[in-house]
Chain A
Amino acid sequence: MGSMIKILNETAIPVTNPIEKPCILSAKNVDVFYGNKLAINDVSFDIMENQITALIGPSGCGKSSVLRCFNRMNDMIDACKVTGDIRFAGQNIYDPKVDVVALRARIGMVFQKANPFPKSIFENVAYGPRIHGLAKSKGDLEEIVISALKKAGLYDEVANRLDESGTGLSGGQQQRLCIARALAVDPQVILMDEPCSSLDPIATAVIEDLMESMKENYTIVIVTHSMQQASRISQKTAFFHLGDLVEFGDTETIFTNPEYEITQNYISGRIG
């Protein structure tokens, strides 16, 4: 009888919809507190692999707090407490046994303001692979750096000045350098917290185009205040309001026919 069950299990048709991508990150009943204040209230949703998921909502709605839960960046805030279940590839990331540094290599992050190290362009990208021991030789390291710069769409612009300071690049280039730095440690997920908020439309378009090409190999979760950006680049959109996840679904549906009036009001500029 036991072997029969084993055979059935092995031959069972997967329950997931074949069109739907597999889930890589999931949040279940997540609450986030800052001191006694409840900032995120019982949030549950799944992030699908190789898709761009946009988190939108007015300032203070908790979207950045949720984003930071996914690679435990909230651990750095003393007063912050996270409860609930957050899983990356099926594993509870808040398990005490989890190596947070290794987790952040798998789930990289790009911030609102480009923050290159005051080092050369090469060293900015080489820093991560070096401390994680990903390169066995100098040649290996060079290969990783060049590959990451190419993936970030920056290599052609900086190929002949890799030893120059990363802080000397333009704003858009600095942001792509930060993306290259995140890619160099071979992540699966990139979290982006308003990555284009300080960039001009051309630099924004370059980053958006880059994200579009990156989603073939990476999963991207982006917090953005730009409704147009969310609708242009994402496949899924989550709308947060006052710490609640109001609506989560296909971006096309959210922006053409949202289920809730409060979502409609926000995306059409009726509440801020």
Chain B
Amino acid sequence: MNNHHIVNSFDNALNKNESLILEMGGRVEQQLSLATRALQKEDIKLSKKVVSSHNHIRQLEGKVNASAIQLLALRHPVAEDLRNVVMSLRIAGHLERIGQYTKNMARRTHTITKADAFIGSIDVLVRMSELVQSMIKSTLDAYNNREAQIAEDVREQDEGVDHMHNTLFRELLTYMMEDPRNISGAMHLLFIAKNIERMGDHSVEIAEEIIFMITGGWPTEKRPKGDNTSRMLLSPEDLGPSSVTVEEH
């Protein structure tokens, strides 16, 4: 919408609210990038920094909430303005959740770095994280430029995250069955994978909220989903005769 409100201060308040969302989104995207680098480089110091930085994201969420409530109480927004303000509350909630998952991911980094056997899995995790970072960036672009199509594309991208999650789940399950000493490290990696997978889901939620904000309607077409982990079962036979070593006493 190109037209300005007759009351300039209304525009200022809306712009401030949008800036807070963009700042929060940028901060979340950056935190995920840092947490991923910490995991990849076994950088404990960096991972601790990510954990401690989450407070700032929560503070920004508080600011978005306060600004949105003030807009609702004082400006009585309607139509696109109303959708904009209400969606800002929801988007801020999703961004905070992504930040929380990033914090959890960073917390586990210390344990993971000791498990050399999982380098291949960490590569997949990094690719998952990069895809989610690109989804977050796209949602912020869609929000800033009011481009529903960019948000629509984000909905499609989540299937790629799900597929990588499936692959990791199967791979890590195999490591655990091969040698129980892998269980601890593999479990932490599984949790990180699940965290990243949930970040993808939150990005999709944000994308759908942006579509609603711009068009006034929720997407009606189902998005492609590929998360099969809840139905995934592996038995020792799946590993082949030589894969499992059973110690005899």
**A residues lining the B interface (CB < 8 Å):** 227-228, 231, 255-258, 261, 263-265, 267-272
User: In the complex, A265 Cα to B4 Cα: how many Å?
Assistant: 9
Q: Which of B1, B4, B5, B79 contacts A255 (CB 8 A)?
A: B79
Q: Which of A231, A261, A271, A272 contacts B78 (CB 8 A)?
A: A231
Q: Which of A257, A267, A272 contacts B6 (CB 8 A)?
A: A272
Q: How would residues 1 to 32 of chain B score, 1 for a CB under 8 Å from any chain A CB and 0 otherwise?
A: 10111110010000000000000000000000
Q: How would residues 132 to 161 of chain B score, 1 for a CB under 8 Å from any chain A CB and 0 otherwise?
A: 000000000000000000000000000000
B10 & A269 in contact (Cβ 8 Å cutoff): yes
A271 in contact with B217 given A256-B78, A256-B83, A264-B80 (CB within 8 Å): no
Closest CB pairs A-B (n = 8): A257-B216, A270-B3, A255-B78, A264-B79, A268-B81, A269-B5, A267-B78, A265-B3
The answer, yes or no, to whether B124 is at the interface (CB within 8 Å) is: no
B3 & A258 in contact (Cβ 8 Å cutoff): no
The answer, yes or no, to whether B131 is at the interface (CB within 8 Å) is: no
Interface centre among A263, A264, A270 (most CB of B within 10 A): A270
CB distance from A187 to the nearest CB of B (A): 32
CB distance from A271 to the nearest CB of B (A): 7
B10 & A258 in contact (Cβ 8 Å cutoff): no
A268 & B79 in contact (Cβ 8 Å cutoff): yes
Q: Which of A227, A257, A264, A270 contacts B4 (CB 8 A)?
A: A270
B7 & A269 in contact (Cβ 8 Å cutoff): yes
CB distance from A154 to the nearest CB of B (A): 30
B217 & A268 in contact (Cβ 8 Å cutoff): no
The answer, yes or no, to whether B77 is at the interface (CB within 8 Å) is: yes
Contacts of A258 in B (CB 8 A): 79
The answer, yes or no, to whether B51 is at the interface (CB within 8 Å) is: no
Contacts of A271 in B (CB 8 A): 3, 6
Contacts of B83 in A (CB 8 A): 256-257
B1 & A264 in contact (Cβ 8 Å cutoff): yes
Contacts of B217 in A (CB 8 A): 257
A270 & B6 in contact (Cβ 8 Å cutoff): yes
The answer, yes or no, to whether B82 is at the interface (CB within 8 Å) is: yes
Count of B interface residues, CB-CB < 8 Å:
17
B4 & A268 in contact (Cβ 8 Å cutoff): no
A interface, over-half SS: helix
CB distance from B1 to the nearest CB of A (A): 7
The answer, yes or no, to whether B76 is at the interface (CB within 8 Å) is: yes
User: In the complex, A227 Cα to B81 Cα: how many Å?
Assistant: 14
User: In the complex, A264 Cα to B214 Cα: how many Å?
Assistant: 13
A267 & B79 in contact (Cβ 8 Å cutoff): yes
Contacts of B5 in A (CB 8 A): 268-270
B80 to chain A: closest residue by CB: A264
CB distance from B9 to the nearest CB of A (A): 11
B216 & A268 in contact (Cβ 8 Å cutoff): no
CB distance from B148 to the nearest CB of A (A): 14
B217 to chain A: closest residue by CB: A257
Contacts of B80 in A (CB 8 A): 264, 268
User: In the complex, A261 Cα to B4 Cα: how many Å?
Assistant: 13
Q: Which of B1, B6, B82, B216 contacts A269 (CB 8 A)?
A: B6
Contacts of B216 in A (CB 8 A): 256-257
Contacts of A265 in B (CB 8 A): 1, 3
Can you list 18 A-B contacts with CB-CB less than 8 angstroms, sorted by A residue number?
A227-B76, A231-B78, A255-B78, A255-B79, A255-B82, A256-B79, A257-B83, A257-B217, A268-B5, A268-B78, A268-B80, A268-B81, A269-B6, A269-B10, A270-B4, A270-B5, A270-B6, A272-B6
Contacts of A231 in B (CB 8 A): 78
Contacts of A255 in B (CB 8 A): 78-79, 82
User: In the complex, A267 Cα to B216 Cα: how many Å?
Assistant: 15
User: In the complex, A76 Cα to B163 Cα: how many Å?
Assistant: 75
A261 & B1 in contact (Cβ 8 Å cutoff): yes
B78 & A227 in contact (Cβ 8 Å cutoff): yes
Contacts of B77 in A (CB 8 A): 268
User: In the complex, A71 Cα to B10 Cα: how many Å?
Assistant: 40
Contacts of B82 in A (CB 8 A): 255-256
User: In the complex, A263 Cα to B3 Cα: how many Å?
Assistant: 12
A268 to chain B: closest residue by CB: B81
User: In the complex, A268 Cα to B3 Cα: how many Å?
Assistant: 10
CB distance from A8 to the nearest CB of B (A): 39
CB distance from A216 to the nearest CB of B (A): 27
User: In the complex, A12 Cα to B238 Cα: how many Å?
Assistant: 68
B3 to chain A: closest residue by CB: A270
CB distance from A267 to the nearest CB of B (A): 5
User: In the complex, A30 Cα to B76 Cα: how many Å?
Assistant: 34
